[in-house]
Each structure stands twice: as C-alpha cells, then as structure tokens.
Chain A
Amino acid sequence: MKIRLWTMGRHLLSSIFYCLLSICIFCFISSSAQAKVNCLKCHPQVRNQLSLGNIHKPLKKRNCTICHSTHTSDQPHLLVKPTKELCLSCHKKAFKVKYPHIPVMEGNCDKCHAPHASRYTALLRKQEREICFDCHQKEKIILGKKLHSPVKRCLSCHKAHGSNYSGLLKKPLQKLCFNCHQKTKITVYHKNSTLKGDFCLSCHNAHSSKKAHLLRTYAHSPYAKGRCQDCHLIQGKKVGKVKSDNRSLCLTCHPQVENADHFIYSHIQLTPGSNVCLDCHSPHLSDIKPSLKGLPNQICFSCHRDTKNRLLSTSQEFKYKHPEAKKGNCLNCHQGHGSNKLFLLKKGGIDTCTSCHKRHARFTHPIGEKAIDPRCKTKMDCVTCHHPMGAKDIYNIIFDHREELCIQCHKIST
C-alpha cells in the first residue's frame, strides 16, 4: 500500500513538473517572439540605429532578450548580466592574455563599442584613432611634428583587447620594428652593436618626436657628446660592452645618489637586472626628465605589481583611489631613490598630504604628536583613516564613514 501511494505521489509530482516546464517554454518562446516586434515599438532610438551600417547580430535578429531582461534586472538598461560577462558569453575568443587592455579587464566593453549599431566597423563608437585618444592623451603621444607613419592607425602595432607583449604590442618589439625596417641596415647604422631587447625604444620614440629619426628629446650627457668610451669598452671601431655591469658604473659620475644607501628604505638596491639604475633610467635618450625609461607608473608598476593590481582593481574594497595614484604620478608623493619615511614618502605621512591638501593642514580631525591612535598607541596621521592606493569609502576612507570609521577609536558607551 505504502509503495502504491509513493508511486502515485511520484507520478503526480512529475506531471506537475512537466506542466510547469511546458508553461515556461511556451512563455519564453512567446516572449522572445513578442520582443522581436514589441521592443522597437517603444524604443525608437534603437530603431533609428538600424539604418547605420553595422548592426549587432542579436539586434539584427531582433533577439533583444539575449541581452536585456523583459521584466526586471539588477543591471543598468535591464541587462541580464554585468557587461563583461554578457559580452564574453558570446565573444569567447577574448581575452586570456598576459597584458589585458584596462577597459577589457574592467569589463567596460561599451567604452569603445556601441551595443546596438555603429557607422564604424567592429561597432566602434568612433573612428579607431579617435577612440584611443579618448583615454590616451594625444599630447603625450604626439610630442612633435615628426610622426611615425603607422601612428595614424594604432592597431597596426597594438592589439585592442590584450596581448602577451607589454604595451599591447602585436609581436615582440624587435620583430615588430624589423617588419618594416631592415635589420642589416639598422645594424650598420648602429656601429655593428648587438641589437638586444628593447633596443629600439631606448633611443627612439615609437610614436613621434621633435627630432629627426624619431629620436627621443633628452640625451644623457656622455651620449650627447659622443663619448661612448665613458661607459663602454671600445673594441676597434665597435662599441663594446659596458665597463661595469652594476650600479658602480653610474655612481662614479652621480655620487650624490649613493646617499640613498644611508636611508632605511633605499630604492637603489634591488634589481631584476644587474645595474639597478637602468631599471628606471635610460642611459642614452629619454623623453622624460631625468632620463626616465618611461612614465613613472610604467616604471614603478614593473616591480610593484600588487600596487598596480590594487589601483586597477574594480573591487568594491578598493573603489576609491587617489587621483594622482590612479594617473600613475607616483613621484608626486614618493621619493625615487630613498627615504627614511615609511612607504618611501617624500615628507612623511602628514606633510606629504598637506603639501596639496592645504585646507586640511589647518582644519581636520586631530593628527600628529598629540593625537594618539588608541588601537596602536602611535600618532595619528592622514593614512590612519585614508588609503591613497584604494579604499572602499569615499575620499579613500578605509572604513565605511557612516558605520565603522569613527567607532574604530571612539567606543560607544552603553
């Protein structure tokens, strides 16, 4: 009897399940069929876009529900998923690369691409070059009148979504250069020196320059004077190896830098290469004083990967970042060579901040010698409450200012 009841119940449950399933399938089919007709009726701005040359496939097929929910959604524009997941659910080819393009990493596909239709190929919002200049400041790329001819089309050297080579290059640097420039000729021009690594970019700007041959603007003085022998061994007419493969080569002319060795936090000591100076400085030509190899953030982030990840992170924990840190102007606050201040700061926790935030030097929560943080019994400064490299609350406040921040120190009496 028991078995019969169980069997009957089971059959009843399964029939209910199949009924519900068929209702679901019917609704889904009918709703998507309706979407083809109905959505564009009320969204004329999307309908008008149909006249543009390139139309996103789902729209072409009027399958709006692939991307949008018909009823409700947590996402803007009633999207069924966050933008990144949504795009990647069809465009699976992207983007497992070593160096992803930041908008790709952040899932801001719509920064470059229009979701419905566009006049330009690949549904780009603007012309290829104009889109790049939206984020990459034109004045930092076009430095002078001499232009590298491919600079008119960024994608001739760079990949838009990501690459396994730094700078989002299509190929390793040298292969890319020698695609157009004959290696044999170049070797002769450079006194038969061996062309290694990032050789080309150490003297030439890949985009533009004020000088002929796209040479970089500022020259290291021995190089400018043609005194290769100051740093290199000369073998006949050939410029040979450097005289010393460590920092002592540079310190013979720049002894003042050696002072950094006396600081607790010295930046002139660890190096993935052999000469620590060449991690940051270019020995021949540079576009950025003092002979920097690249923008400060490019240089700093090559070692400080965790800081880079934090600054680029889209996590809510690190939502608010100091604008200068975000721009990569590391040297506005940090000392390049060495410091006795924590985090290699230029002036210490309070003075570094108040050199820009002048109002806070006069009016703020008590800080300094007289304000002791009860959690660690040490003096309070700006970073007691703020984390410039990324915090979860507005103004880079480490704790939620409405709930957690004040009660870190000010206990509520019950």
Chain B
Amino acid sequence: MKKAMKGNNGSGLRSYGFFPLHLSPLTCYLMLQFVFFTFYSYPAHAYLKGKVEAVIYGEKEIGAFNQPQAVYFDPQRKRLYLVDTLNDRLLSFDKQYKFLSAFNAEGRLKTPLAMVRDKKGRLIVTNKGDNSVLIINVKEKKINSLDLSHISPPVIPHSLALASNGCLCLLDKAYKRILIFSPETYKLQKIIEEKEASGFSDIKTNNNLVYALDPIFRKVFIYNQKGNFIRSIPLKNVSFPISLAVDRREHLYILDEHEGKIFIFDKEGKPMGEIGKEGWKEGKLYSPRYISIGSKNILYVVDTGNNRVEVFRIK
C-alpha cells in the first residue's frame, strides 16, 4: 500500500518527479525500448555489403575493352579470365589483376559470350557469332567444337557453368533449355526443359546443383544434376535481373542491370543486402551484365556500360 502511494501529491494522481505524464519508470523504459527497436534497430536486409577491391580497365597495352560480357575465375591457377566480346578475345589477369595475355583462338572467337576452364586446362567458350561452343586445348593448340548437331531444335548457346564434378552446363536461352554434358568427354547427358519459366538469362552451379535465373518472372530455379527440379526462389524488389552467382553458403547474388546493383538473398530468398549503385565512378555500375564469385568472398562484376570489371570484397 505504501509502495502504491509513493509520490502521491494529494490530487489523487501519482507523480514520479522527472518522468512526465505520470508514467512509471518501468513504463517509460519499455516505451523507450519500443521506440528504439522500432526506429533504430538494424535493418534485417543490410548485413552484407561490398567494398571495391579493384577496378580493371583496358589499359594502353591491351586497348579499351569493348562490351565485355563475362568473367571466369580459375580457382586452380588463381587467374581471372575476361570475355572481351566485341574485341573477339579472351584476356587473362593474375591474382593482383595485372594483365597477362590476350587470346583469340587463331581468329576463331566470334563475339564470344561466356567461358569456363575445365580441370584439364581446356577453355570452353560460347561463340555468339556462329552459335557454337569451342573447346580450346591451349597447350596442344587444338580447337574443337562441341557437337550439338543432333539436338533439335538447334541449340543457341548462351551461358556456361562447370559443376564441381566436372559436368558442363550449357544454357540455351532461345528454347528455355539447360543441357548437361558429362565430365571430360562432354557427351550430352540430360536436357532440362522448363515450361514454368519465361526462359533463363544465366546459369551457375554450386554443390552440384544448377541455379538458373528467370529475368521476366524474377525467380531462380534450382535443379540437381539429374535434371530434377528442386525448388524455385522468388526475388523481391529486383527490376531487371540479368546474372546470378551463388556462394558456399548458398547466398544468391542477383545482378540488376537497370538498377546497377547486386541484390543478395539467402537460400530462402530473404534479402541480405545490396552492393553498388548506378553510376560511372569507381564502385558504381552502369548497365552491368555479369557477375561471378571468386575465392575468399570476392565478387567480380562485369560493368559492361563502363567497359570495365569491378572487384568487390563482400563483408
């Protein structure tokens, strides 16, 4: 009873001195906490950020890039390959991003669009110019074409991805197909055809799963190596997704060409952060077309509109 009467000023209302509106210290504390957590709590989508590690330009030695369309990081040799599409060449850089060499496969590269390097050191390149896939053995100086002639309707090669078991995945953008080839011999094993998608703009592999990005329906479709559909992840708040990357924790990195941003999602599709902003200065992106994950949280972004590659460290 005494406790309840504390601060009673005789008017029937309790006063706690400093605290206004006759609220108890506990109520004030709870209110402050409520205000703090409502307005100042750390936004759930902002835990991953990117810091510019390096920016790669076409220096005087090699000339300016002309609409580069893809990069490939070779974890074995720790080299970065750039597909310099309208210059019809591949460029290699060391781990300090210093230029090493340029390569045009004796003039057989015609508007190259994507590339990977297999465990035997062969470069596999999709050629938009003649809609072929070249297998280039650099050491033996042999160039073969992947046999796609028996597949109907004819394959229109687009992106490439190499699974950790050596399987080669080829995206046929025109007919909504992902073709899976056996390791080393590259014989056709499986064709994934997806009727629920509007088509795919990019594919990547992670833990022997194939991830495919549907830019119109804004979804990522996931398949296993047998071609079975596993699940799809809807992508929130993206405008014009064009390329994707997947890291070891199965985080999805979605490149939005029109926004000039990379949106990061967890494996359930929950937003985890954003990298970049539309612009021209270093650290900004203008009509970027491709992303790839390297080792140690490094993200390579092909900033096509600015004719450069931006390297971000994800934090």
Contacts and interface: CB of A to CB of B under 8 A. Distances in A.
A408 B280 contact: yes
Interface in A265-315: 266, 268-272, 274, 276, 303-307
Contacts of A342: 67, 287, 304-305
A305 B258 CA distance: 11
Contacts of A3: 7, 9, 15
B113 to A, nearest CB: 7
A248 interface: yes
Interface stretch (B36-44, B101-109, B194-202, B269-277): B194-202
Interface string B301-315: 001111110000000
B175 interface: yes
Chain B: interface size category: 35 or more
Given A262-B111, A264-B113, A378 B195 contact: no
Interface SS of chain A: mixed
Interface in A339-381: 340, 342-343, 373, 375-379
A378 B306 contact: yes
Nearest to B286: A376
A264 B239 contact: no
Contacts of B216: 270-272, 303
B11 interface: yes
A269 B258 contact: no
B178 to A, nearest CB: 14
B153 interface: yes
B53 interface: no
Chain B CB count within 10 A is highest, among A268, A306, A377, for A377
Contact of A263 (B128, B199, B305): B128
Given A264-B111, A375-B280, A271 B258 contact: no
Contact of B11 (A7, A263, A306, A408): A7
A270 B215 contact: yes
A262 B156 CA distance: 9
Contact of B156 (A261, A307, A377, A384): A261
A274 B195 contact: yes
- Which of A246, A304, A342 gathers most chain B CB within 10 Å? A342
Contact of B131 (A6, A261, A376): A261
Contacts of B195: 274
B191 to A, nearest CB: 14
B79 interface: no
Given A307-B258, A343-B287, A377-B308, A270 B173 contact: yes
Q: How large is the interface on A (under 10, 10 to 19, 20 to 34, 35 or more residues)?
A: 35 or more
B287 A262 contact: no
Interface in B103-130: 111, 113, 128-130
Interface string B5-28: 001011100010100000000000
A159 interface: no
Nearest to B20: A10
A247 interface: yes
Interface in B247-305: 258, 279-282, 286-287, 303-305
A304 B11 CA distance: 68
Interface in A233-280: 246-248, 261-264, 266, 268-272, 274, 276
Q: Give the most central of B69, B217, B239, B287: most A CB within 10 Å.
A: B239
Nearest to B281: A375
B128 A264 contact: yes
> Which DSSP category, helix, strand, loop or mixed, fits chain B's interface?
loop
Contacts of A379: 64
A262 B130 CA distance: 7
Contacts of A408: 280
Interface string B221-243: 00000000000000000011000
B131 A262 contact: yes
Given A7-B9, A264-B113, A408-B280, A248 B153 contact: yes
Contacts of A247: 174
A10 to B, nearest CB: 9
Given A342-B287, A378-B307, A269 B9 contact: no
Contacts of B64: 377-379
Nearest to A379: B64
Contacts of B308: 376-378
Interface string B65-88: 001010000000000000001100
B192 to A, nearest CB: 16
A9 to B, nearest CB: 11
Contacts of A274: 195
B186 interface: no
Most buried by B among A4, A270, A271: A270
B93 interface: no
A342 to B, nearest CB: 6
A270 B128 CA distance: 16
Contacts of A266: 173-174
B99 interface: no
Given A264-B113, A373-B280, A376-B308, A270 B201 contact: yes
Contacts of B307: 376-378
Contacts of A307: 258
15 contacts: A4-B9, A261-B174, A262-B128, A262-B131, A264-B86, A269-B156, A269-B158, A269-B199, A270-B215, A306-B239, A306-B258, A342-B304, A375-B280, A377-B307, A378-B306
Interface of B: 7, 9-11, 15, 17, 57, 64, 67, 69, 85-86, 111, 113, 128-131, 153, 156, 158, 173-175, 195, 198-199, 201, 215-217, 239-240, 258, 279-282, 286-287, 303-308
Given A247-B174, A269-B199, A376-B307, 17 more contacts: A4-B9, A6-B9, A7-B10, A261-B128, A261-B131, A269-B158, A269-B173, A272-B198, A340-B111, A342-B287, A342-B305, A373-B280, A375-B279, A376-B306, A378-B64, A378-B307, A378-B308
Interface of A: 3-4, 6-7, 246-248, 261-264, 266, 268-272, 274, 276, 303-307, 340, 342-343, 373, 375-379, 384, 408
